[in-house]
Structure 1
Amino acid sequence: MGIGVWELLLLFLIVLLLFGTKRLRNIGGDLGSAIKSFRSAMSDGEDDKTGRTIDGEAVHESKDKT
Structure 2
Amino acid sequence: MGSFSIWHWLIVLAIVVMVFGTKKLRNLGSDLGGAVKGFKDGVKDGSTDPAEPAVPPSSAHVAHSSNAADKAPIDVETKTRS
In structure 1, stretches of 5+ residues that fail to align are 50-60
Corresponding residue number in structure 2 for 1:37: 38
Corresponding residue number in structure 1 for 2:7: 6
- The number of aligned residues is 53
Of 46, 53, 63, the residue aligned with 1:64 is: 53
Larger Rg: 1 or 2? 2
Q: TM-score, normalised by structure 2?
A: 0.59
Offset of residue 62 of structure 1 = 2.2
Q: Which has the larger share of strand?
A: 1
Q: Relative contact order (alpha carbons < 8 A, sep ≥ 6): 1 or 2 greater? A: 1
Computed over aligned residues only, the root mean square deviation of the Cα atoms, in angstroms, reads: 1.5
In structure 2, stretches of 5+ residues that fail to align are 55-82
Corresponding residue number in structure 1 for 2:17: 16
- 1:2-23 Cα offsets, whole Å, 9 max, x none, are 1211111111000000000100
For 1:44 and 1:18, the matched residues in 2 are separated by: 39
Structure 1 segments (4+ residues) deviating >6 Å: none
Q: TM-score, normalised by structure 1?
A: 0.71
